[in-house]
A and B are shown apart, each in its own frame.
Chain A
Amino acid sequence: MTSPIQSLSKAVTVNDNPFMKPMEWVSLALLAGVVLVVLPLALDGFRLNLVGKYLTYAFVALGLVICWGYAGILSLGQGVFFGLGGYCMAMYLKLEASSVENTKIQSTPGIPDFMDWNQITAIPWFWQPFKSLPLTLLLVVAVPVAFAFLISVAMFKRRVGGTYFAIITQAIAAILTILIVGQQGYTGGINGITDLRTLHGWDIRTDSAKVILYFVNGGLLIGCILMAQYVKRSKLGRILVAMREKEDRVRFSGYSVAGFKVFAFCLAAAFAAVGGAMFTLQVGFMSPSFVGIVPSIEMVIYAAVGGRLSLFGAVWGTLLVNYAKTSFSESFPDLWLFGLGALFIAVVLAFPNGLAGLWREHVEPRLFRKAKGLTPTPTPVLPAHGAPAE
Chain B
Amino acid sequence: MFGEYSLADLSSIFVMQGFAGLILFSVYVLMALGLAIIFGQMGVINMAHGEFMILGAYVTYLCSGFFQTHLPSLFGAYFFIAMALAFLASGALGMLVEWALIRHLYKRPLDTLLATWGLSLILQQAYRSIFGPREVGVELPSWMMGSIPVTDSIEVQINGLFVIAVTTVITLGVALLIYRSRFGAQIRAVMSNRPMAGAVGIDTEKVDRYTFGLGCGIAGIAGSAFTMIGSTGPTSGQLYIVDTFLIVVFGGAASLLGTIASAFSISQTQSTLEFFLSGSMAKVLTLLAVVGILMLRPQGLFTLKVRR
Chain B residue with Cβ nearest A170 = B242
Report chain B residues within 8 Å CB of A20.
Answer: none
A-contact bits for B27-52, CB 8 A (1 contact / 0 none): 00000000000000001010000000
The chain B residue sitting closest to A151, CB to CB, is: B295
- The interface bits of chain B over 98-137 (1 if a CB of A lies within 8 angstroms of the residue's CB, else 0) are 0001001100111111110111111111101100000000
Evaluate contact between B304 and A341: CB separation under 8 angstroms. no
Please give, as numbers and ranges, the residues of chain B lying within 8 Å of A163 by CB-CB distance. 43, 45, 109-110, 113, 304, 306
Beta-carbon contact of A348 and B111 below 8 Å: yes
Bound complex: CA A170 to CA B287 (Å)? 11
Q: Which of B248-265 contact A (CB under 8 A)?
A: 249
Task: Report whether B287 and A345 are in contact in the complex, using a CB–CB cutoff of 8 Å.
Answer: no
The stretch of A101-109, A129-137, A154-162, A216-224 that contacts the partner chain:
A154-162
Closest-CB distance, B215 to chain A (whole angstroms) = 16
CB distance from A105 to the nearest CB of B (A): 29
Q: Is the CB of B122 within 8 A of A338?
A: yes
User: Considering only CB atoms and an 8 Å cut-off, how many residues of chain A contact the other chain?
Assistant: 44
Whether B306 pairs with A304 at a CB distance below 8 angstroms is no
Whether B304 pairs with A164 at a CB distance below 8 angstroms is yes
Whether the pair B111, A341 counts as a contact (CB closer than 8 A) is: no
Identify which of residues 28-81 in chain A touch chain B, using a CB-to-CB cut-off of 8 Å: 68, 72, 74, 76
- The residues of B that contact A345 with a CB separation of less than 8 Å are 101, 115, 118-119
Contact between chains at B121 and A337 (CB < 8 Å)? yes
* B84 interface hit (Cβ, 8 Å): no
B122: chain A residues within 8 A (beta carbon)? 337-338, 341-342
Could you tell me if B245 and A341 are in contact, using CB atoms closer than 8 angstroms? no
Check: A376 CB closer than 8 A to any chain B CB: no
Please pick, from A168, A182, A337, A347, the residue contacting B278 in the complex, using a CB distance under 8 A: A182
- The docked-state distance in angstroms from the alpha carbon of A297 to that of B241 is 14
* Contact, CB under 8 Å: A167 / B124: no
B57 on interface, CB distance cutoff 8 Å: no
Question: Does A171 interact with chain B (Cβ within 8 Å)?
Answer: yes
Asked if A283 is an interface residue, CB under 8 A from chain B, the answer is: no
Q: What CA separation (Å) do A375 and B112 show in the bound complex?
A: 42
Q: A338-B122, A348-B114, A352-B111 are in contact. Are A155 and B295 (CB under 8 A)?
A: yes
B117 / chain A contacts, CB cutoff of 8 Å:
297, 344
Query: Which of A294, A340, A345 has the most chain B CB atoms closer than 10 A to its own CB?
Result: A345
Please measure, in the bound complex, the distance between the C-alpha atom of A158 and the C-alpha atom of B298, giving whole angstroms.
8
Chain B residues with Cβ under 8 A from A164's Cβ?
249, 298, 304
Judge if B288 is at the interface, Cβ distance under 8 Å: yes
Task: Collect the chain B residues with CB atoms within 8 Å of residue A293's CB.
Answer: 238, 242
A88 contacts partner chain B, Cβ-Cβ < 8 Å:
no
Please tell me if the beta carbons of B101 and A300 are within 8 angstroms of each other in the complex. Answer: no
A168 touches B242 (CB 8 A): no
Instruction: Identify the closest chain A residue to B249 (Cβ).
Output: A167
Is B246 on the interface with A (CB-CB < 8 A)? yes
Q: Which residue of B lies closest to A349 (CB)?
A: B104
Smallest distance from the beta carbon of A65 to chain B beta carbons, Å?
14
B284 and A182 contacting across the interface, CB-CB below 8 Å? yes
Q: How far apart are the CA atoms of A168 and B304 in the complex, in Å?
A: 14
B115 adjacent to A349 (CB under 8 Å): yes
**A16 CB-CB contact with B under 8 Å:** no
Contacts of A337 in B (CB 8 A): 121-122, 124-125, 128
Q: Mark B129-153, 1 if CB is under 8 A from A, else 0.
A: 1000000000000000000000000
Shortest Cβ distance from A120 into chain B, in angstroms? 16
| CB within 8 Å for A175 and B298 given contacts A341-B118, A345-B119 | no
Name B287's contact: one of A72, A174, A301, A344 (CB within 8 Å): A174
Say if the beta carbon of A343 comes within 8 Å of chain B: yes
C-alpha gap A345/B121 in the complex (Å)? 11
Q: Is B154 an interface residue (CB 8 A)?
A: no
Q: Which of B110, B125, B283 contacts A334 (CB 8 A)?
A: B125
In the complex, are the beta carbons of A179 and B298 less than 8 A apart?
Answer: no
Residues of B within 8 A of A167 (CB): 45, 245-246, 249
Which B residues touch A340, using CB under 8 A? 118, 121
Contacts of A179 in B (CB 8 A): 280, 284
Given that A178-B283, A337-B124 are contacting pairs, would A171 and B115 also be in contact in the complex, using a CB cutoff of 8 Å?
no
Chain B nearest Cβ from A387, distance in angstroms: 34
**Residue of chain A at shortest CB distance from B280:** A182
Chain B's closest residue to A173 (CB) is: B242
Q: How far is the CA of A154 from the CA of B293 in the complex (A)?
A: 11
**8 Å CB contact of B110 from A162, A170, A294, A344:** A162
Which residues from 246 to 301 on chain A have a C-beta closer than 8 Å to any C-beta of chain B?
Answer: 293-294, 297, 300-301
Looking across the interface, which residue of chain A has its beta carbon closest to that of B308?
A161
B299 within 8 A of A: yes
* Residues on A with beta carbons closer than 8 Å to the beta carbon of B288: 175
Please tell me if B273 contacts chain A, counting CB pairs below 8 Å: no
Residues of A173-211 contacting chain B, CB below 8 A: 174-175, 178-179, 181-182
10 A-B pairs with least C-beta separation: A344-B118, A182-B280, A341-B121, A341-B122, A337-B125, A154-B295, A341-B118, A345-B118, A348-B115, A348-B111
Name 5 extra pairs, CB < 8 A, besides A162-B306, A297-B117, A301-B114: A182-B281, A334-B128, A341-B125, A342-B118, A348-B115
Contact sample, A vs B, 10 pairs, CB 8 Å cutoff: A74-B110, A158-B298, A170-B245, A182-B284, A341-B120, A342-B118, A345-B101, A345-B115, A348-B112, A348-B118
Q: Which residues of A contact B (CB under 8 A)?
A: 68, 72, 74, 76, 151, 154-155, 158, 160-164, 166-168, 170-172, 174-175, 178-179, 181-182, 293-294, 297, 300-301, 304, 334, 337-338, 340-345, 347-349, 352
